[in-house]
Structure 1
Amino acid sequence: MTRSRITSTACILASAALVTTGCAGPTPASEGGEWTPEGDMTMVVPFAAGGGSDLSGRAMAAGLEGVQDGLNVAVENRDGASGAVGYSYFLTKEGDPNYVLATETALLALPLTQDVEFDYTSFTPIMKVGEDFTLLVVDADSPYETCTDVVDAAKSERVIAGISGETGLDNVVFTLTEQQMDVEFDRVPFESGSELTAALLGGTVDIASLNPGEVIGQLESGDIKALCAYADERYDYPELSDIPTAKEQGIDVSFAQFRGLLATGGITESEKQGWIEAAEAFADSDAYTEYVESNYLQPVTAFGDDFTSYLESNSETLAGVLE
């Protein structure tokens, strides 16, 4: 993103007037003062364009702009290493309130499975946007008709499972399925849901676990079929209501991927509160409702310390699966 260059004199005058300009983003806030996200900001997405995390980041960026006057949020994809590249980059922005990140389950899974320098306590949790369950999907020509068919096949033959990152929700639900049903899938990792969908359609993998928002178009066109949902209950959305849960097919596995918003670590309390207030306004907006419904999420929100508590609990659950 290109930021306009303004003379030092203009910057001094803008600071004196307490007006946010392109000089250096928002006016710094003291611990006791108020702070509002204004000016040019960056939304980091730690996965490639086209997947669920990218959709979430772009929806949050546009939604925050819609409820916060004078705010411009540029989306920056920094993908690689199953999300570790993006989170590590975000870690270098500590103390800078001009950066936020579209977060999901990799935030918790990466520190449990890889040698990274961060965990959720390295950042400032702002908002849990919602919960996103996955569907086990196959190509339309696949011989599998149910998730039970897939499990039965894996007992006697090689079943290749595509996953979007080695630590994502799809890897978690496949691991839970393996543990419960005493089977094993061969995994092939991809950097985004869009790449994984293409691999499924191209016959590179046999099965995939993808969020509904990533494959609704292919489901409606008939190019892909959903065998089950790794969810607590069937979806209420009409387009998905006929898809049985894995539990209905004898596979008692359900795990939701959270989607959320992080600020960098080390920001002031007033900067944290400013982002929380903007996020709360986003949650009350039509843009939030449209994002949730168009991506088939469950609108379960949490803010600030409540989101931190959720991350702590979810991390403990994941540790029992991944470690």
Structure 2
Amino acid sequence: MRRDAFLKSLAVLAAAGTLPMAARASTNIKMMIPANPGGGWDTTGRALGKAMTDAKVVDTVSFDNKGGAAGALGLAQFVNGSKGDPNAIMVMGAVMLGGIITGKPPVSLSQATPLARLTTEYNVFVLPANSQFKNMKEVVEQLKKDPGSIKWGGGSRGSTEHIAAAMIARDAGVDPSKINYVAFRGGGEATAAILGGNVTVGGSGLSEFSEYIKTGKMKALAVTSGTRMKGVDIPTLKEQGINVEIGNWRGVYGAGGITPEQRKTLTELVIKATKSKAWAEAVEKNNWTPAVISGAEFEKFVDDDFASLRATMVKSGMV
């Protein structure tokens, strides 16, 4: 075969995704996780990385954890350090939008490139095992008497559990600005505070607390879903007369300054990974609800959710 014909055939194979591995350029993904180890973003990012390598859509995935300010510190590092890099991705989600609304960081999410939404997860509120309270009703009654006496512990300011706590206060007729909320930089820190009895009520994604609930180290109060979650014997807030429902989604962005073709390639890698056995196992293990969307649909979703979250936070006295 002539050299020019051979090169053309390679180009056709590459376009079809059937280029032999030996001839294909390696893909080494650099993943920014804008939170400390042990939380929802960390779990999501590492599960996605495993799915990408197990599905053989990439060769390697390296991780960089940078927690703080509801993901704003990691976002800043990602925006400033990865511009134009077609192999850089960042885990993000509703919490980052809330942090941007409350914190007004110097960088914008628009400086990165939307790729795909992956999952939705509802929050659970828990008590330390030795808590004096037995249920959410008792917590709310004490909240009405003395808002500052209930110390809520969870993710960064603007996280979905922070918003939910403010919404619970507003529903109970308490000024949301008076709630005593303690923000932690990662799920590991929040978990340690709850287990140590350093907060009254803890909130996070169900996946982060499920093992502690099963072993009796935490007492589950309520989930933030509209109806009871399948296979989860925890009442909703609405069941307990509290008109609050809020979900927490997670997704991934690429670096700013990449080309449309590079964006398409990255998005396809992520989507292929979500169809792998490894990803399906992670979804089931963590009680995540699959919610994959990409492209323009995802971009519009982020814009709409930002506006909706801002409106909710304004009503709840957080902005």
Q: TM-score w.r.t. structure 1 length?
A: 0.84
CA distance in 1, matches of 2:121, 2:57: 29
Residue 95 (structure 1) aligned with residue 84 (structure 2): yes
Residue 250 (structure 1) aligned with residue 244 (structure 2): no
**How many Å apart are 1:152 and its aligned residue?**
1.0
Residue 129 (structure 1) aligned with residue 123 (structure 2): no
Segments of structure 1 that go 5 or more residues without pairing to the other structure are 1-17, 20-35
2:300 counterpart letter in structure 1:
S
Corresponding residue number in structure 2 for 1:222: 216
Corresponding residue number in structure 1 for 2:200: 206
1:220 counterpart letter in structure 2:
K
Corresponding residue number in structure 1 for 2:6: none
Corresponding residue number in structure 1 for 2:35: 47
**How many Å apart are 1:113 and its aligned residue?**
1.2
Corresponding residue number in structure 2 for 1:161: 152
Map 1:1-323 to 2 at 5 A: 38-92=26-80, 93-157=82-146, 158-183=149-174, 184-236=178-230, 238=231, 240=232, 242-322=233-313, 323=319
**How many Å apart are 1:132 and its aligned residue?**
1.0
Deviations for 1:46-78, whole angstroms, at most 9, x for unmatched residues? 000011111011011111122244521101101
Deviations for 1:170-200, whole angstroms, at most 9, x for unmatched residues? 1111121122222243111111111111101
Q: Is the contact between residue 69 and residue 103 of structure 2 (CA under 8 Å) also seen in structure 1?
A: no
CA distance in 2, matches of 1:200, 1:81: 20
Q: Is the contact between residue 273 and residue 279 of structure 2 (CA under 8 Å) also seen in structure 1?
A: yes
| Shift in CA distance, 188/307, structure 1 to aligned 2, threshold 3 Å | same
Q: Is the contact between residue 283 and residue 290 of structure 2 (CA under 8 Å) also seen in structure 1?
A: yes
1:200 counterpart letter in structure 2:
I
CA distance in 2, matches of 1:156, 1:138: 19
Q: Percent identical across equivalent pairs? A: 27
Q: How many residues align?
A: 287
CA distance in 1, matches of 2:101, 2:210: 31
**Alignment RMSD (CA, Å):** 1.8
Deviations for 1:226-259, whole angstroms, at most 9, x for unmatched residues? 11101121110x2x2x211000101111111111
**How many Å apart are 1:115 and its aligned residue?**
2.8
Provide the secondary structure at the position in 2 that maps to 1:301. Answer: strand
CA distance in 2, matches of 1:148, 1:259: 30
| Shift in CA distance, 37/294, structure 1 to aligned 2, threshold 3 Å | farther
| Shift in CA distance, 90/279, structure 1 to aligned 2, threshold 3 Å | same
CA distance in 2, matches of 1:38, 1:319: 41
CA distance in 2, matches of 1:303, 1:272: 11
2:301 counterpart letter in structure 1:
Y
**How many Å apart are 1:134 and its aligned residue?**
0.4
Q: Is the contact between residue 40 and residue 98 of structure 1 (CA under 8 Å) also seen in structure 2?
A: yes
Q: Is the contact between residue 37 and residue 71 of structure 1 (CA under 8 Å) also seen in structure 2?
A: no
Q: Is the contact between residue 111 and residue 118 of structure 1 (CA under 8 Å) also seen in structure 2?
A: no
Provide the secondary structure at the position in 2 that maps to 1:142. Answer: coil
1:244 counterpart letter in structure 2:
P
Q: Is the contact between residue 267 and residue 294 of structure 2 (CA under 8 Å) also seen in structure 1?
A: yes
Is the helix fraction higher in 1 or 2? 2
| Shift in CA distance, 69/244, structure 1 to aligned 2, threshold 3 Å | closer
Q: Is the contact between residue 38 and residue 69 of structure 1 (CA under 8 Å) also seen in structure 2?
A: no
**How many Å apart are 1:155 and its aligned residue?**
0.9
CA distance in 1, matches of 2:223, 2:99: 24
Segments of structure 2 that go 5 or more residues without pairing to the other structure are 1-9, 12-23, 314-318
| Shift in CA distance, 204/117, structure 1 to aligned 2, threshold 3 Å | same
1:182 counterpart letter in structure 2:
G
Provide the secondary structure at the position in 2 that maps to 1:244. Answer: coil
Q: Is the contact between residue 82 and residue 166 of structure 1 (CA under 8 Å) also seen in structure 2?
A: yes
